[in-house]
Amino acid sequence: MVAAGFLGAIAAGTLLLSLPVAATGRTASVVEAFFTATSAACVTGLVVVDTETFWSPFGQAVILVLVQIGGFGVMTVASLLGLLLSRRMGLRTRLVAAESTHTIGLGEVRRVMIGALQFTVIAEVLVATVITLRLRVGYGESVAHATWSGLFHSVSAFNNAGFSLYGDSLMRFVTDPWVCLPISAAVIIGGIGFPVLVELTRRTTSGDRPVLLLRRPGRWSVHTRLTLLMTAVLLAVATLFFLAVEWANPRTFGPLDVPGKMLAAFTQAVMPRTAGFNSIDTEGLNHGSWFFTDILMFIGGGSGGTAGGVKVGTLAVLAVVLWAELRGDPDVTAFDRRLAPFTQRQAGTVALVAMAAVVVTTLAITVTVPPEVVPLDRVLFEVVSALSTTGLSTGITGDLEPWHQCLLALLMFLGRLGPITLGTGLALRERRRLYRRPESAVVIG
C-alpha cells in the first residue's frame, strides 16, 4: 500500500510535468518528467534539467506539491508503521517498543497525523518568513518572487529535498547566515525524525490552553538519545573535516574569509544528511571530500523523518554492537539499557542491503560507461546520492544515458521506502520457535 501510494504520486507528477504548460520552452520528455517526479516525490533533489530555467511556475508548483506529499507521507508512514508494529508484537516486545519511542500506542493514529502536520506547517512557515524577508530586504527581489522563493526553499529544506529555484543552489548565499542557517535548521529539524520531535516536547495545560514544553533529558528514550548524540557528533566531525580539507581549495573555501569558511563548512556538513542543497561547488571538492560526503549521505538522518540513508539510529546500533564485541560483553547496552537481539539484526540487515544496492548499481553503470567519460568516484557519488535521497551531484546526472537515469530513479524509490518498510517487515516477521538447533561455530578472520 505504501509503495502503491508513492507510485501513484510519481505517475501523476510525470503526467503533469509532461504537459506543455509545465515547461518554459520545449515540452519535457517522458524520461525527464519521470525522473523529476520521482526525485520530488522521493524528496531527493537530483535533476536532469535546471529547475529555475526549464520548468514554468506551474511545473515548479507541481514539484513543490510532490515534495510536500513525499516528505509528509514519509513522516506519517514511518510513524504509523511503528504503530502497526507495536500492535502486532507480543506484550513484552510491545512494552519495549513503547518505552523506546514514547509516541507509539493504541488509538494514536489521529494524533500522529495531526502532530506531523503541525510540526511541518510551523517549521515551514517560520523558515519561509525569514528567507522571504531576507530576499526582499537584502537582495531587492520583488515581493512575489521573494515569497515564492522563500516558500519553495522552506518546503524543500524541511522535507530534505534539495530542489532550488536557483541554478547554483545556495552558492550565491554561501556567506549569508540569514539564508544558510534557516535552511540548515529546517534540514536538521525535518531530518531528525518525527518520533524524536514529539518526545522532546510534552503537552501540558496552562489555564485552559494546551502548551508544549521541553521534556527533561532524563526522560528521553534510548532512541532519542542515540539519534541526538549521533546527529551532534556527525555535524561536528563533518564541519571540522571540511574546514581542514577544503580550507585552501581555490574552488571551494579558498576565496572566503574565516567566518565565511566556517559557515560554508557547517552548511556543507548539514546538507549530506540528506538535503541536497550546496552552498559551494560540489564538483570543486577534492576527492577525499567526495568520499567523506558519500559516507555522510549513506548514513543519512533520523528514523521517521524526511531524511534518507540507512539512518543514524542504524549506525548507532552497529557502533554499540561493535564496541560490545570488542570488549567481550555478553549484552549490547546503550544508556543502561540492553538492545534487543532483533534490533541488532535489523540494523545489520538494513546496512548490508543498502551497501549491496550501492555496489550493484555502481557496477552496472561503470561497466557500460568508459572511465574516461565518467570516472568511478563520480558514479559512486551519484549512486549514493540517489539511494540516500540526498540530491547532491557532481554534475553528471544530466549527461548519463536515459536508462542510467531510470536506474537512478529506481534507486531513489528504493532508498525512500526501502529502509522504512524493510525495518518494519523484519520486525513483523520476528517470531519465537519452540526449539533451537545445535550450536556450532565458524572460524572468523
Is there a contact between 386 and 411 (Cβ–Cβ < 8 Å)? yes
Q: How confident is the model at residue 176 (pLDDT cuts 50, 70, 90)?
A: very high
Enumerate the β-bridge partners of residue 333.
338
Contact call for residues 132 and 146 (beta carbons, < 8 A): yes
Between CA 361 and CA 368, with CA 356 as vertex, the angle to 5 degrees is 20
Q: Do the beta carbons of residue 332 and residue 320 sit within 8 Å?
A: yes
pLDDT for 56 equals 94
Q: Which residues contact 333 (CB under 8 A, 6 or more apart)?
A: 320, 324, 339
Q: Which of 103-112's residues contact partners 24+ apart within 8 Å by CB, and which partners?
A: 103/79, 103/194, 103/195, 103/198, 103/199, 104/79, 104/195, 108/83, 109/80, 109/83, 112/76, 112/79, 112/80, 112/83, 112/194
Length of the chain as a residue count: 445
Under DSSP, is residue 55 helix (H, G, I), strand (E, B) or coil?
A: strand
Amino acid at 292: F
Which one is predicted more confidently, 45 or 417? 45
Q: What pLDDT digit, counting tens, does each position of 18-54 carry?
A: 999 999 988 999 999 999 999 999 888 889 899 989 9
Query: What does the alpha-carbon distance between residue 223 and residue 237 come to, in Å, rounded to a whole number?
Result: 21
The phi, psi pair for 243, rounded to 5°, reads -60, -45
Given a contact cutoff of 8 angstroms between Cβ atoms, the answer to whether 28 and 22 are in contact is: yes
Instruction: Extract the C-alpha cell encoding 267.
Output: 552548511
The grid coordinates of residue 227 equal: 539519534
Share the mean pLDDT of the chain. 84
In terms of average pLDDT, the best of 75-89, 214-228, 362-376, 414-428 is: 362-376
Residue type, 169: S
How would residue 220 be classed by pLDDT, with cut points 50, 70 and 90?
Answer: confident
The Cα–Cα gap between 276 and 335 comes to: 33
Instruction: Summarize pLDDT for 98-140 with one digit per residue, the tens.
Output: 444 444 444 455 666 677 778 888 999 999 999 999 999 999 9
**More confidently predicted of 211 and 123:** 123
Averaged pLDDT for residues 355-369: 92
What DSSP string describes 272-309? GGTT---SS-GGGS-HHHHHHHHHHHHH-S-TTSS--S
Summarize pLDDT for 271-324 with one digit per residue, the tens.
998 888 999 999 999 999 999 999 999 999 888 778 888 999 999 999 999 999
Instruction: With residue 210 as reference, give the H or E element that holds it.
Output: strand 209-214
DSSP state of 434: S
CA 176-179-182 angle, to 5 degrees, is 130
